[in-house]
Structure 1
Amino acid sequence: MLEFQKQILTEIVAEDGLLILSKGLGLFNVLCSFIQLHCTGKHLVLVLNTTPQQIDLVKDTLIANEVPPDRIIQAIEYDTPADTRNAMYRSGGVFSITSRILAVDMLLKRIPIALITGIIVYNAHRVKSNSMEELILRIYREENQEGFIKAFSDQPEAFVTGFAPLQNTLKSLQLRKVHLWPRFQVLVSDNLSDASEDVVELRQPMTLAMEKIQQSLVECLESTLAEIRRSTSMIDVEDFTVENAFFKSFDMIVRRQLDPIWHRISPTTKQLVGDLKVLRQLLSYLTSYDCVSFYSFLETVIASNASQDGKQVRQSQWLFLEAADTAITTARLRFYLRPTDHDYKLTDIPASIGSSSIPDKLKLVLEEQPKWNLLGEILKEIEQDAKTTNDGQSAPVLIMVNEKRTCSQLKEYLSRLNTETGDTNPVLNRLAKNFFKWRGTMNQIQKAGGLSFARPAATTNSPSAGPSTGRGAPPNKRRRVRGGSTTAALSGDRAATLSQTFREDIQENLQVLDNPEEEEEEGLFQAIDPSADQAINTITLGANDILPEFEPVPPKRLITIQHYDNDTDEQVLQDVSPRFIIMYDPDPAFVRRIEVYRAMHPNVHVQVYFMLYDNSVEEQNYLSLIRKEKEAFESLIREKSIMAIPLPQKAGNPEDTFVRAVSSRVAGGQLKVAGPPQVIVDMREFRSSLPPILYAEGVKILPYTLQVGDYILSPEMCVERKSIADLIQSFRSGRLYTQCENMCLYYKKPILLIEFDQSKSFSLQSLSDMKSNIVLTDLSSKLVLLTLTFPKIRIIWSSSPHETAAVFKELKKTSEEPSADAAAAVGAEGTEEMDTTHNMTPQEILRNLPGITSKNYRIIMSNMENLEELTNSTEDRIQKLIGEEPGRKLYRFLHQRAGTES
Structure 2
Amino acid sequence: MSLDTETMLEYENQMFLEILQEDGLLISAKGLRMETILLNLIKVYCDPGNLVLVFGTTHEEEQFFISELDKQGVTPLPRVITADNSTTEREGIYLGGGVMFISSRILVVDLLKKRVPVPNITGFIVFRAHRILESCQEAFALRLYRQGNKTGFVKAFSTTPQAFTVGFAQVDRIMKTLFVCNLYLWPRFHAIVISSLEKRKPVVVELHLELTHLMTNVQTAILELVHFCIKEIKRLNPSLDAENITVENALSKSFHKMLMMQLDPIWHQLSSKTKQLLSDLKTIRSLLQNLTESDSVTFYSMLNKLRTSDYVMSSSGWLLLDEAELLFSAAKKRLYDAKKEVEPEPNPKWEALSEILKEIHKNSKGSVVTVVVLVNDSSTVLQLKRYLTKGAVCMLEELYKKLIDSKKSKLSFSTSDNNTDEEMKEDEIDEEEKAPESVTLTQTQQILNDDDDDDENDNGDKCKSDNATFMECSQEQLDKQTEPVVVLQQFKADGNNLSLPLTLRSLQPKYIIMYDVNMTAIRQIECYQSVDCIEQITLYFLMYGSSVEEQGYLTTLRKEKEAFEFLIKEKATMVISSDQDGKSEDCSSLSRDAGQSAASAGIVNSRKGGVQKPLGLSKVIVDMREFRSELPALLHRRGIDIDPVTLLVGDYILSPDMCVERKSINDLIGSLSSGRLYTQVLSMTRYYSKPILLIEFDQNKPFVLQGRYYLSSDIGSGDITAKLQLLTIHFPKLRIVWSPNPYATAQLFHELKEGKEEPDSAVAAAVGAEGDTVDDDYRLEKYNVGIQDFVRKLPGINTKNIISLLNKGQSLDHLITLSQDELNGILDNSLNAMLLYNALHQKTSVSTKDGSNNSGKRGFGNRGRRRGSRGRLFSTRVCV
TM range (shorter): 0.7 to 0.9
Q: Aligned to 1:290, which of 295, 319, 322?
A: 295
User: Aligned to 1:785, which of 719, 723, 726?
Assistant: 726
Indicate whether 1:715 and 2:656 are aligned: yes
- Do residues 428 (structure 1) and 396 (structure 2) align? yes
String of CA shifts for 1:670-724, please: whole Å, max 9, x gaps: 5223843111111111111111111222211111111111111111111111112
Alignment equivalent of 2:488, drawn from 552, 555, 561: 561
**Structure 2 match to 1:537:** none
Note the 1:572-721 alignment, pairs <5 A.
572-601=503-532, 603-645=534-576, 647=580, 648=582, 649=587, 651-652=590-591, 656-659=596-599, 661-667=603-609, 670-673=611-614, 675-721=616-662
What is the aligned-residue identity percentage?
41
Q: Which residue of 2 aligns with 1:191?
A: 196
The Cα shift of 1:888 comes to 6.7
- Displacement after TM superposition at 1:14 (Å): 0.3
Q: 1:601 to 1:821 in 2, by over 3 A?
A: closer
Q: Does 1:827 align with 2:768?
A: yes
Residue aligned with 1:425, SS: helix
Q: Could you tell me how far 1:828 is from its partner in structure 2?
A: 2.7
Is 1:204 aligned to residue 157 of structure 2?
no
Report matched runs for 1:345-744 at 5 Å: 345=340, 347=341, 364-387=342-365, 392-417=366-391, 424-436=392-404, 465-467=418-420, 471=422, 511-512=430-431, 514=433, 552-554=479-481, 557-565=484-492, 566-601=497-532, 603-645=534-576, 647=580, 648=582, 649=587, 651-652=590-591, 656-659=596-599, 661-667=603-609, 670-673=611-614, 675-744=616-685
SS in 1 for 2:150: coil
SS in 2 for 1:467: helix
Q: Does 1:245 align with 2:255?
A: no
Separation of aligned partners in 2, 1:168 and 1:556: 56
**For the structure 1 residues 736 and 258, does the alpha-carbon distance in structure 2 shift closer, same or farther, using more than 3 Å as the test?**
same
CA shift digits 1:267-325 (9 cap, x unpaired) = 1111112222222222111111122222232234445x717xxxx96323222222123
**SS of 1:280's equivalent?**
helix
Residue in structure 1 matched with residue 273 of structure 2 by the alignment: 268
Helix, strand or coil for the counterpart of 1:306? helix
User: Equivalents in 1 of 2:701, 2:716: separation in Å?
Assistant: 26
Contact 1:21 1:155 survives alignment (8 Å): yes
Unpaired runs of 5+ residues, structure 1, are 338-342, 348-363, 418-423, 442-461, 475-505, 517-526, 531-546, 835-843, 854-882, 893-901
CA deviations on 1:730-784 (whole Å, 9 max, x unpaired) are 22222222222222222111111111122211111049999xxx99963323322
Q: Deviations over 1:476-516 (max 9, x none)?
A: xxxxxxxxxxxxxxxxxxxxxxxxxxxxxx9x666437469
Q: Call closer, same or farther: CA 1:182–1:464 in 2, change over 3 Å.
A: farther
- CA drift of 1:403 comes to 1.1
Structure 1 residue 612: Cα displacement: 0.2
Distance apart, 1:395 and its partner CA: 2.1
Structure 2: how far apart are the matches of 1:656 and 1:183? Answer: 46
Give the distance between the partners of 1:643 and 1:620, measured in 2 at CA. Answer: 34
CA drift at 1:613: 1.0
Q: How far 1:109 moved relative to its partner?
A: 1.2
The C-alpha deviation readout for 1:224-269, integer Å capped at 9, x for no partner, is 0000011112211111110111123322332233222211111111
* Alignment partners' CA distance in 2, 1:790 and 1:754: 16
Root mean square deviation, CA, Å: 3.5
- Map 1:218-229 onto structure 2 (within 5 A): 218-229=223-234
Counterparts in 2 of 1:321 and 1:80: CA distance versus 1, 3 Å: farther
Query: Measured at CA, do residues 134 and 571 of structure 1 come closer, stay the same or move farther in structure 2, by a change above 3 Å?
Result: same
Three-state SS of the structure 1 residue aligned to 2:639 is coil
Identify which of 163, 168, 187 aligns with 1:163.
168
C-alpha change, 1:832 and 1:589, in structure 2 (3 Å) is closer
Q: Given the superposition, is the C-alpha separation of residues 549 and 719 from structure 1 closer, same or farther in structure 2, using an over 3 Å criterion? A: closer
Q: How far does the alpha carbon of each residue in 1:850-877 deviate from its partner, in whole angstroms, 9 at most, with x for none? A: 3699xxxxxxxxxxxxxxxxxxxxxxxx
Instruction: Verify the 8 A CA contact 1:431 1:513 in the aligned structure 2.
Output: no
Letter in 2 for 1:630: K
- After superposition, residues 780-859 of structure 1 pair within 5 angstroms as 780-828=721-769, 831=772, 848=829, 850=831
Bigger Cα displacement from structure 2, 174-183 vs 120-129? 120-129
Aligned amino acid, residue 657 of structure 1: S
Q: Which residue of 2 aligns with 1:320?
A: 320
> CA contact under 8 A between 2:373 and 2:488: conserved in structure 1?
yes
8 Å contact kept, 2:402–2:429: no
Partners of 2:660 and 2:692 within 8 A in 1: yes
- Aligned residue number for residue 495 of structure 1: none
Change (3 A) 1:574 1:549: closer
1:40 maps to 2:44: no
> Which of 1 and 2 has greater Rg?
1
Structure-1 residue corresponding to 2:310: 306
With the length of structure 1 as denominator, give the TM-score of the two structures.
Answer: 0.75
Distance 1:250 1:602, change over 3 A: closer
Q: Judging changes above 3 Å, is the alpha-carbon distance between structure 1 residues 75 and 300 closer, same or farther for their aligned structure 2 residues?
A: farther
Structure 1 residues 60, 809: CA separation in 2 closer, same or farther (over 3 Å shift)? same
Indicate if the aligned counterparts of 1:751 and 1:795 stay in contact, CA closer than 8 A: yes
Q: Distance in 1 between matches of 2:875 and 2:32?
A: 67
Aligned to 2:339: 344
Do 1:723 and 1:754's aligned partners in 2 also have CA atoms closer than 8 Å?
yes
Confirm or deny: 8 A CA contact 1:435 1:513 kept in the other structure.
Answer: no
SS of 2:268's partner is: coil
Q: Is the 8 A contact 1:721 1:753 kept in 2?
A: yes
Gaps of 5+ in 2: 1-7, 410-414, 436-442, 447-473, 775-799, 801-824, 835-869
Q: Which residue of 2 aligns with 1:353?
A: none
